[in-house]
Amino acid sequence: MPISGKRMMDLVKKLGFERLSTYESETKAAEMLCDEIRAMGLEPTVETFLAPHYEIKDVKLEITEPFYKEITCTGYGFSGNDAKDGVEAEFVYIEGFDPIDLYDVKGKIVFFTGGMGVSAYESLIKAGAVGFICTSGTFRDKLAESDLEERTLRDKHTEHGKLPGVTIRMKDALSLIPKHPTRAKITLFQEEGEADSRNVIAEIKGTKYPDEIVVYTAHYDTVPFSKGYFDNSTGTAMVMELLRQYKDNPPMRTVRFIFCGSEERGLLGSKAYVAKHEDELEKIRLCINLDMAGPILGREMANVTGEESLCHALTFYYKEIGYPMTVRQDLYSSDSIPFADKGIPGINFFRSGAHGSYQIHTRHDIIDILSAESLAKTTNFIKSFSDKVLNAAFFPIERKMPQNMVEKLDKYLLKKKDNK
């Protein structure tokens, strides 16, 4: 049975709804993936794990002096409930997070542009700020054609405490700041806790070396307001298609297919998988992660999180078959990272969209920029490269992580910061 772009696009279409970590919508998507696997005659395994869950119940931003204005905002998830009954304080605009920017923020509500970084959050808490207002979007955004991003803090942010915050539109910020607001009031009430998210897993046992395992990962969750066609129904559909292919023709080595939940919340599904399967990680030789493919206009890419020799092997192969692509030794911010952190080499195949031809993480992640043909092209390449690895006489990739990648991983996972 040949690889079918149409079959993959059908699944991409089916998954065309917001699929939020820990929400019913993500569970619904997981069930659809299970149905798809069962329809092939295989039985999926569902592994649930706890992920942070929040629900904003009340959020409001008011400028109270020298004029009154309510500004549309979204609450920052997991930023606590210190402003549950409203926090009113002096308003201060800071242009950065250097000590000079922060010398006079104590007891104030701080406004800055962009999103909230981990060290910025820590420095605001240490400087004694009582709330924050940040921005999202661009000056060009039209109200009717854009959503105001709802952001969340992660574990690393809140190690030093919590500070309530909201996000406003860049457009509103541009008209607000010249009017010199001096006092503001943030009201933010949210439920914070944990709820289930899930990984959906299927496996085809190897015919000759069942204890040598290659895992294929793809996340199926989305961020708020995105239907996640490109990011990442495409990778999900490709992993499903590869499962179908290997079900019909089992390779010599075991292939395991992991559809990860909660990637958009910080790779939580793949982290949970690696933590739960600690005792069998030694058998996993390679992680092939698929996150975003299928744009009509784009470029075939592979980020190799592993030895440089693996880049050379891929380069030899694409040249051999005349398949233009770019191979780099680097991380890819997706589900291969927790595996790489355990020393398992990762290949992240993706098709990067041509500049201006796509958008992710917004309502503009639409299906029209994708094609069945593009999806099939990338999947065919991955399948033919995989076949070589899975049916090699001797496993051709050493299970080893070079020092330069270890350093990048540590930095990405903020390990260095922890040790400080």
- Site of interaction with Zn ion (CB under 5 A): 231-232, 291
Q: Do residues 121 and 417 make contact, with C-beta atoms less than 8 angstroms apart? A: no
CA distance 12 to 14: 6
411 contacts: CB under 8 Å, gap ≥ 6:
none
359 contacts: CB under 8 Å, gap ≥ 6:
365
**CB of residue 197 to Zn ion, shortest distance in Å:** 15
**CB of residue 332 to Zn ion, shortest distance in Å:** 10
Tokens for 66?
A: 């020298």
CA distance 131 to 257: 43
Q: Do residues 230 and 223 make contact, with C-beta atoms less than 8 angstroms apart? A: no
Closer of 217 and 386 to Zn ion (Cβ): 217
- Reported as half-sphere exposure (CB side, CA atoms, 13 A), residue 124 has a value of 30
**CB of residue 256 to Zn ion, shortest distance in Å:** 20
CA distance 62 to 173: 13
**CB of residue 364 to Zn ion, shortest distance in Å:** 15
What three-state secondary structure class fits 371? coil
Closer of 169 and 271 to Zn ion (Cβ): 271
Closer of 158 and 234 to Zn ion (Cβ): 234
Closer of 187 and 199 to Zn ion (Cβ): 199
388 contacts: CB under 8 Å, gap ≥ 6:
317, 396
Is the preceding omega at residue 66 within 30 degrees of 0, hence cis?
A: yes
Q: How much is the CA Rg of the chain, to the nearest whole Å? A: 23
Closer of 252 and 360 to Zn ion (Cβ): 360
**CB of residue 18 to Zn ion, shortest distance in Å:** 14
**CB of residue 228 to Zn ion, shortest distance in Å:** 8
Closer of 291 and 307 to Zn ion (Cβ): 291
**CB of residue 129 to Zn ion, shortest distance in Å:** 32
DSSP 354: P
Closer of 79 and 234 to Zn ion (Cβ): 234
What three-state secondary structure class fits 59? strand
Closer of 232 and 270 to Zn ion (Cβ): 232
Residue bearing tokens 């049975």: 1
**CB of residue 291 to Zn ion, shortest distance in Å:** 4
Q: Do residues 136 and 156 make contact, with C-beta atoms less than 8 angstroms apart? A: no
